[in-house]
Structure 1
Amino acid sequence: MTVLVTGGAGYIGSHMVLALKDAGRSVVVLDDLSCGFAWLVPDDVPFVQGDIGDQGLVRDLIRRHNITAILHFAGSIVVPDSVRDPLFYYRNNTVQSRALIEAAVAEGIKHFIFSSTAAVYGEPERTPITEDMPHQPISPYGTSKLMTEWMLRDAAIAHSDFNYVALRYFNVAGADPQLRSGQSFPRATHLIKIASQAATGERSHIEVYGTDYPTADGTCIRDYIHVSDLAQAHLCALNYLEAGGKSTAANCGYGYGYSVLEIIDAVKRVSGVDFPVRTAPRRAGDPAILVAGNERVRNQFGFVPRRADLDLIVGDALAWERQLIDKRNDEPEERIAV
């Protein structure tokens, strides 16, 4: 039984590939490399550069590699960009996912794990956020993901042998503890990535977007989950479906949050570098507080976090950032797609 990972050359997808390999699973990667890097895919994992919306390609991969499950990470994730260019997000996230789901159903795929987001909740009235709370996204990004969840729900109703889990991420951070993968996109918008770049001298400063939110220090609060723990949550979800579990959605977070200023302080503390911090206006589409209620992913899937410590998350992110700097003058050879 082989698993197809879309977006497997990206940040979260590459960690999923590692988790599958570490669990002894057979895996194939499909990625268009718009944000990913072929060198993040292990040499012994088949890698195909291509588009998830290319149904002929996807169906051929499913048949050729005897794919039995799809873990879908491919997509665009920058909230402010989605506000500026919503139609791109609806095409790249929603329309492309529809094509992928249709190909999966046509080829008899039984298990589908979808990379969704806490942005489907919009501005929640209370925290922690539970899965049954209203879905009222305030950005096209969140809406594009919610529309994909709806398509999966309806496909599962129409096709009784097709089951899915939509995992709603909160804020993903850190890097593989063995430094096999990490956040490598230079224009990433993840706070811990940006702060790590400031600490290592790749950025002159860091900007804090909004200091007038209704929180203790006026900055947004987010629930940060280590990327390796997130990959394990996906593996738990896949095991759940393979054991006969029913289609569902689940939050992925630790159940507590940190403000933007607390994260910056942690990066300064762990790195030992006091980099400049500037304030800027709020960004469109940023809720004040997003903290996960995670009982479902723990109790239903048996997920147990292993790296739920802020300094550990920051330390892994900094170690990866330093490794990227070391690699800069010694670029790895391009991985050739098959």
Structure 2
Amino acid sequence: MNWLVTGGAGYIGAHVVRALEAEGLGTVVLDDLSSGRRAFVPEGVPLVHGSILDGPLVDRTLHEYDIAGVIHVAGFKYAGVSVQQPLHTYRQNVTGTANLLAAMQERGVERIVFSSSAAVYGTPDVDLVTEDTPKSPESPYGESKLIGEWMLRDQGVATGLAHTSLRYFNVVGSGTPDVYDVSPHNLFPLVFDALLDGRTPRINGDDYPTPDGTCVRDYLHVADLAAAHVVAAKRLADDLPIEPVYNLGSGDGVSVGEIMRAVAEVTGIDFTPEIAARRPGDPARIVASGELAARDLDWRMRYSLAEMVRSAWEARRAAGGGGS
């Protein structure tokens, strides 16, 4: 059985590919390399260079590589930018997913794990987010992910598609020194690039009603995230019961201030973050329960905060240079 990983040359997707390979599962990558990197794909894993917007290409890939299931990680993932580029976001995330599902239906591929997002919740008014927390996305990105979940649900009703969607927050760390987070918008790359460039990292607001005044979020190690995707895929392959959605959450969260202190300790670079104004719409705390995923997907937080930071820092430094 070969699994197709869309977006498998990206930071998260490349870790999913490695986790599949470690389980002895055949893997094929489809990626347009708009944010992914060819070097992130392990040697021996076929890389189909192209977009999920190219329906005929997706169809050929499913057929030529005898694909039995899909882990769908590809997408436009920048929530803030999506507000300025809504049509681009919907085209990549909604039209692209529709193309993928259409090709799967045509080729009889009946299993899919969808990499969704906690952005579907918007700013929840609860201390601990569960799968049943009301969905109220606040960006085209979050909306597009929720629409993706709806499409899987509706295909399940119409065709019997076996599916699950994994919602998660902030992904950090590295499970291998040759793959690291290259996003220009994520916290760890921003902090590391600042330090490597001799600049002082910045915190947006330190007057929130949290223990140290900074925002609290779920921060998940990418290797844990990848492992959960693979367990979900194996449950689908074995026709085991599976929920339509799971939150991959820590249950308690980490503050931005704690991250900054851990970065200073791990890197050995002594710094005091600059404090900037709050960003509009940033809630004080968003943390999700991972209980359902722990029950079904062997979901666990296997890494301490220091280990998350250290693995990310070592991979970033192995890449060389300052800046991104």
Judge which range, 267-276 or 136-145, deviates more. Answer: 267-276
For 1:158-196, what per-residue CA distance to the aligned partner results, in whole angstroms no more than 9, with x for missing partners?
112x111100011100001x413221x2x5222122222
Equivalent-residue separation in structure 2 for 1:251 and 1:99 (angstroms) = 26
Aligned to 2:279: 283
Report whether the alignment pairs 1:208 with 2:203: yes
Shift in Å, 1:265: 1.0
Equivalent-residue separation in structure 1 for 2:292 and 2:208 (angstroms) = 29
* Amino acid across the alignment from 1:240: R
* Amino acid across the alignment from 1:220: C
Shift in Å, 1:286: 3.3
* Amino acid across the alignment from 2:109: I
RMSD over aligned CA atoms reads 1.8
Aligned to 1:333: none
Runs of 4+ in 1 over 6 A off after TM superposition: none
- Give the direction of change, closer, same or farther, for the CA distance of 1:314–1:55 in structure 2 (3 Å limit): same
Contact 1:80–1:285 (CA under 8 A) maintained in structure 2: no
Judge which range, 254-263 or 13-22, deviates more. Answer: 254-263
Equivalent-residue separation in structure 2 for 1:279 and 1:143 (angstroms) = 31
Aligned residues with identical type, % of pairs: 42
Aligned to 2:155: 155
Shift in Å, 1:285: 5.0
Aligned to 1:336: none
Report whether the alignment pairs 1:53 with 2:53: yes
Shift in Å, 1:276: 5.2
Aligned to 2:248: 252
- Give the direction of change, closer, same or farther, for the CA distance of 1:316–1:103 in structure 2 (3 Å limit): same
Equivalent-residue separation in structure 1 for 2:210 and 2:322 (angstroms) = 40
Structure 2: 5+ residue stretches without partners: none
Contact 2:11–2:180 (CA under 8 A) maintained in structure 1: yes
Aligned to 1:265: 261
SS in 2 for 1:300: helix
Contact 1:83–1:285 (CA under 8 A) maintained in structure 2: no
Contact 1:89–1:141 (CA under 8 A) maintained in structure 2: yes
Aligned to 2:312: 317
What's the TM-score, normalizing by structure 1? 0.90
Judge which range, 74-83 or 239-248, deviates more. Answer: 239-248
Aligned residues: 322
Equivalent-residue separation in structure 1 for 2:157 and 2:246 (angstroms) = 18
Structure 1: 5+ residue stretches without partners: 329-338
- Give the direction of change, closer, same or farther, for the CA distance of 1:39–1:11 in structure 2 (3 Å limit): same
What's the TM-score, normalizing by structure 2? 0.94
SS in 1 for 2:137: coil
Equivalent-residue separation in structure 2 for 1:285 and 1:13 (angstroms) = 29
